[in-house]
Structure 1
């Protein structure tokens, strides 16, 4: 863990000394059905996620109704889709926000959102949103970032596609507007993202360079990459989440299902526990098996005054005798008393002074 910071979202402490904070991203996986949105919240809660994140925009606040160059997706999961129509399908209606936030509070899971313009921030402030998220494409919209930061709430920002300079500008925009609780999520903005492009070493570098909580917004398939990210310093993991990929939806292809999210939560906690601190001594659980190491034993009877030789002293298990490193110093010395077969060798059996 690189950053020593700790922040809090809705009373949940986030940082190196706390369990990883797991965010289930609903995005457009509600498929236009508010009851499905509620079921997603229920499933995320049951899986052990800390929060569900939604997105707050309308098609006309994120793009315009146009079909010219750049306004039609070229390649990838949404190839051929017009941006306006895609966002119209995927957006979470603004009149759903109040019920979704209320339902989250009712069942005990945090809900927050990614706003995409100032009107979205106003809506979310009216709902007492506990935190905000800046999506990767908006990381370069410093006016939007400052607008969010002026709320004083914790702010997460994804770095997909961003250069180091752009990340630095975004972090400075947050701080210049007065916000202090910052999470920067390393991200590969591909859907799905190839694991070989994850570059997870970036997480610790983000924490070191910017003195922020660092995490991962992950678009790879499955749950392997987030666990590795936590071992490399991530304190927050964000993953897209759906009830059933087979039911479709704009983001379903790279979203986790409930059993997978539960697996992610379990594995994330295990991954955090495995990191620990540098240790060069037996652990508590190893204390009971120390006796299974090798040590020096008398393997043939030795009379008092007789020399220790490779024939009568060997390094064997168990580990109740002198350490094997002393064997060369013992050989050629003589026995201080009669020693029977199977005795663990100790310094008192060696004639004269012997430093073990």
Structure 2
């Protein structure tokens, strides 16, 4: 069985634990603290386990030219990319306020540290776990420094190869065993043919000692539910209050009703996964009593006759007798009394009868 570990206080992932659902607010808060709080509340009300943001220290994430380049997209919050990003970036004090709010209402709070200085701040903020965004998964110095902090890690794998993910595993595992990988394709919105859910199975085979999850950017909830059915133990989906808002992530995000539906569907699927043992269940007994078939006499059978297959058939009978799978075992058995045509064959009329089977 895949090992499990404590991702957040009192909440474990992996093994037979329920899927940990992350509502990725990211920067869909439009740079507005009140909207951010509304989104945390929405995530909580919809049943998500964690509300997640994206924290950057811009001068450490981008070089000067990247921040100074003109940004004329319809989604822009400024004339340059730097102005745009600064509008969407919360201060340290605002992050402290958001974390406190999340704790007050009872939902876990974390953020992706989008650069090493952001990770330092999040460590100081005492988030329960670090989320490594796909853009930093092949940033090996960043990974090593983050792993050394000792907090659990959730690592997305968008834009990466299996070879890279093996390298990531080899870097992180000796330093910090409490981490998981998320299958992810970095496209917004993501088309179904590019999801590649089978990578979840490939990761489960390649890395059998860590939990595997899924970070989705598709529209709707069906694919994410399928990921959980395939064994995803952590699920991350972007969320929004309104898909029509300005911002490139909103279109690939779930609105409140969709998030609530997703959580409900996941919890239903988890119940439905059940046991790998196939057996007659208590809930099937009524149907079995009503529709379950028995071996009956195809013809009149005299006392002392030795049963042959052409004497027997299978019908829904009253009372219940030998189940159909016993018919070949009955061949060659001697009957102790006359049996009428169409009469159920019961244990009482067969010498040295085989035991009635229920399965």
Q: Between 110-119 and 286-295, report the one with greater CA deviation.
A: 286-295
Structure 1: tracts of 5 or more residues without a match: none
2:40 alignment partner, SS class = helix
Post-superposition shift, 1:31?
A: 0.8
Contact 1:132 1:156 in 2 (8 A): yes
Q: How far apart, CA to CA, are the structure 1 residues paired with 2:332 and 2:178?
A: 68
- Match in the other structure for 1:122: 120
Contact 2:6 2:13 in 1 (8 A): yes
User: C-alpha deviations, 1:141-168, integer Å up to 9, x for none?
Assistant: 1111122112100011100011122112
Choose which of 153, 166, 182 in structure 2 pairs with 1:155.
Answer: 153
Choose which of 90, 103, 106 in structure 2 pairs with 1:105.
Answer: 103
Contact 2:137 2:155 in 1 (8 A): yes
Contact 2:14 2:210 in 1 (8 A): no
Structure 2: tracts of 5 or more residues without a match: none
Choose which of 175, 186, 194 in structure 2 pairs with 1:189.
Answer: 186
Q: Judging changes above 3 Å, is the alpha-carbon distance between structure 1 residues 60 and 323 closer, same or farther for their aligned structure 2 residues?
A: same
2:26 alignment partner, SS class = coil
Superposed, 1:273-284 pairs within 5 Å as 273-284=271-282
Q: How far apart, CA to CA, are the structure 2 residues paired with 1:20 and 1:326?
A: 43
Contact 1:90 1:250 in 2 (8 A): no
Contact 1:161 1:188 in 2 (8 A): yes
Contact 1:24 1:240 in 2 (8 A): yes
Q: How far apart, CA to CA, are the structure 1 residues paired with 2:71 and 2:316?
A: 67
Which TM-score applies when normalising by structure 2? 0.85
Post-superposition shift, 1:349?
A: 2.2
Post-superposition shift, 1:251?
A: 1.2
Contact 2:51 2:107 in 1 (8 A): yes
Matched, 1:143 2:141: yes
Superposed, 1:65-104 pairs within 5 Å as 65-66=64-65, 83-84=81-82, 86-104=84-102
- Match in the other structure for 2:11: 12
Over the aligned positions, Cα root-mean-square deviation in angstroms equals: 3.2
Post-superposition shift, 1:122?
A: 2.1
Kindly tell me the number of residue pairs found equivalent between the two proteins.
349
Superposed, 1:22-101 pairs within 5 Å as 22-66=21-65, 83-84=81-82, 86-101=84-99
- Match in the other structure for 1:239: 237
Which TM-score applies when normalising by structure 1? 0.86
User: C-alpha deviations, 1:83-124, integer Å up to 9, x for none?
Assistant: 545534443443321111110111110001111222212221
Q: How far apart, CA to CA, are the structure 2 residues paired with 1:163 and 1:205?
A: 12
Post-superposition shift, 1:353?
A: 4.8
Superposed, 1:194-233 pairs within 5 Å as 194-210=191-207, 211-233=209-231
